[in-house]
Amino acid sequence: MKVIDHINAAKDTLISFEVLPPLKGKGIEALYRHLDPLMEFKPSFINVTYHRSEHVFKKNADGTFQKVVVRKRPGTESICAAIMNRYNVDTVPHLICGGFGINETEDALINLHYLGIDNVLVLRGDAAKNESTFEPEPGGHKYAVDLLRQVMNLNSGIYLEEELRDTHKTKFCIGVAGYPEKHFEAPNMDTDLQYLKNKVDAGADYIITQMFFDNACFHSFVKSCRAIGITVPIIPGLKPITTKKQLTILPKTFYIDLPNDLSAEILKCKSDEEVAQVGTEWLLEQSKDLKRAGVPVLHYYTLGKPDVVVNVVKNL
């Protein structure tokens, strides 16, 4: 079932989770152990992130270096199918522009369609580790909106080979990313919102936001979206804080702010167990407030911390 159909049919706020594919060589069982306790909350859908390959330098025996391509977390599409089969839940693979040519993208979409997966979250992806700015593949997509248009074309039966006749139409429900605190490359919030509106005007069914820790940011983001005519559902993305290190890592990696009250409480903690307790209480309060505000879905980035998310969701 499509995410948008879940939202339209819901009488209350829904729950969804986001997971990462396992590290290459680790097998899928740990992911199942991660998901098992979360499934009792009957999530409407599970997102699986996408991780592009990276160039790394490996030292040879003679002391020289060799540039090799590694993909640390492959398998997004097949993990979606495996989760769907095991738990009978809808899955949302993330699909990115980075590292993909348009033909590979079309093949990936056809594979997903054959697997019975009707949802995708379309994203640009970040710059490759060895690049300072995002560079599309030759002939690949530069912005998420370009990838979105390719999915929309396939939904209309328009494949890259124009001579194909009587083509089958896919039926992907498409989500896109939004940034309550602005995407870090955008010159200002208004410009970023305008590009977000372009994605919605091009056919996006809903928006999932970057994580945020101050609900006021989310509420103001929703208000700004509505003011410029973005009417699709906006799903808040929520992440638990569990370690002191995250106080510096999260702002640096995701270009977000942590509110003073939260950082002050975390700084007082003497261990990461205490941080996890503060993080759980904060996330619970955030979630309760968003639920009261009538958000369509609470979307949790579970990333290796299912127990914190379990403690939050069971107390909602």
Ligand X SMILES: Cc1cc2nc3c(=O)[nH]c(=O)nc-3n(C[C@H](O)[C@H](O)[C@H](O)COP(=O)(O)OP(=O)(O)OC[C@H]3O[C@@H](n4cnc5c(N)ncnc54)[C@H](O)[C@@H]3O)c2cc1C
Give 49 or 170: the residue with its C-beta nearer to ligand X: 49
Footprint of ligand X on residues 48-67 (CB under 6 A)?
49-50
Decide if residue 124 touches ligand X (CB under 6 A): yes
Cβ–Cβ < 8 Å for 313, 300: yes
Decide if residue 144 touches ligand X (CB under 6 A): yes
Cβ–Cβ < 8 Å for 106, 150: yes
Decide if residue 210 touches ligand X (CB under 6 A): yes
Active-site residue 18, yes or no?
Answer: yes
As measured in angstroms, the least distance from the Cβ of 187 to ligand X is: 8
Q: Which span sits near ligand X by CB under 6 A: 56-64, 178-186, 225-233, 241-249?
A: 178-186
Residues contacting ligand X: total by CB under 6 A: 21
Cβ–Cβ < 8 Å for 169, 154: yes
Q: Which residue has the tokens 């370690």?
A: 243
Decide if residue 14 touches ligand X (CB under 6 A): no
Token representation of residue 175? 């989500």
Q: Which span sits near ligand X by CB under 6 A: 65-73, 109-117, 124-132, 283-291?
A: 124-132
Question: Which DSSP string corresponds to 67-118?
Answer: EEEE-SS--HHHHHHHHHHHH--EEEEEEESTT--HHHHHHHHHHHHHTT--
Q: Please, which residues bridge with residue 66 across strands?
A: 58
Q: Site map for ligand X, 258-277, x if CB under 6 A?
A: --------------------
Footprint of ligand X on residues 70-99 (CB under 6 A)?
94, 96
Decide if residue 173 touches ligand X (CB under 6 A): no
Q: Is residue 310 classed exposed, middle or buried when 0-12, 13-18 and 19+ CB atoms within 10 A define those classes?
A: middle
User: Which one of 5, 126, 272, 274 is in contact with ligand X (CB under 6 A)?
Assistant: 126
Give 19 or 278: the residue with its C-beta nearer to ligand X: 19
Q: Which span sits near ligand X by CB under 6 A: 27-35, 77-85, 157-165, 179-187?
A: 179-187
In angstroms, what CA-CA distances link 311 with 48, 142, 165? 22, 40, 53
Decide if residue 257 touches ligand X (CB under 6 A): no
Cβ–Cβ < 8 Å for 79, 125: no
Give the pairing type, strands 65-70 and 54-59: antiparallel
User: Which one of 86, 113, 149, 183 is in contact with ligand X (CB under 6 A)?
Assistant: 183
Strand, helix or coil for residue 61: coil
Cβ–Cβ < 8 Å for 284, 315: yes
Selected catalytic residue, list 18, 106, 181, 265: 18
Footprint of ligand X on residues 217-256 (CB under 6 A)?
237
Q: Where are the beta strands (DSSP E) in 163-276?
A: 173-178, 206-211, 234-238
DSSP letter for 162, please: T
What amino acid positions are annotated as catalytic residues?
18
Tell me which residues touch ligand X (CB under 6 A). Answer: 49-50, 94, 96, 123-126, 143-145, 177, 183, 185-186, 192, 195, 199, 208, 210, 237
